Amino acid sequence: MLIKGRAKDHGVFFQFKCTACDVMRWFHLVEYQASVKAVIVLDQSSTWSLKCSACRHSIDISAEDAGRVLPLLAAAQNHATGKIDSATFGAQLKQADLTFMKMLALSNEEWDCPKCRERCPQSFAECWSCGSARPDEHGYEPPPDFPTPSLDTILTHDRPDPCGGLKL
């Protein structure tokens, strides 16, 4: 039995703030293909991810999203080379209704705590600093499959540390 795998870089797809680098970077669409062969091919599968061009941080995407991304590759290349503007490409991305894009956008949004004025990630229902509830005027409602972390799971109260109690 032989198991083979390969990665195919489909090229630059979009520019986004890398959560590992904390800098705006170009991400490449990468397809990982694997096959299991005996005398005949027993199984073939592909998984998809976006990889940061600098640190190679990976964001996995679903096969359903990959099917929606592939038709956008030419537009992505045109955007990367300046042949189409960001507004045009952004409209095409929005029309594709990509789940991973919604999750990435959500992870980068923040809200201001009305009590202590700290900036908090949009996925937090409570302020990470003072514990106040997020105001309702933001209209935020997490998707049903997106877990909202509780303050207790994020902060460590039993010992001080150089990260201010944040679990990294």
pLDDT in tens, 76-118: 888 888 898 888 888 888 888 888 777 776 666 778 888 998 8
Q: What angle do CA 105, 110, 114 make, to 5 degrees?
A: 155
User: Domain boundary at 89, 106, 123, which?
Assistant: 106
pLDDT at 74 > cutoff 80: yes
Q: Are both 75 and 58 inside the same structural domain?
A: yes
Q: Are both 20 and 79 inside the same structural domain?
A: yes
pLDDT at 42 > cutoff 60: yes
Q: What is the pTM of this model?
A: 0.56
Could you give the CA distance from residue 140 to residue 134 in angstroms, rounded to a whole number? 9
Domain count, the chain: 2
User: How many Å separate Cα 70 from the centre of its chain?
Assistant: 17
Domain that holds residue 98: 2-106
pLDDT at 162 > cutoff 80: no
pLDDT at 73 > cutoff 80: yes
| 15: Cβ contacts below 8 Å, ≥ 6 apart | 24, 25, 26, 27, 80
pLDDT tens-place string over residues 148-159: 444 444 443 343
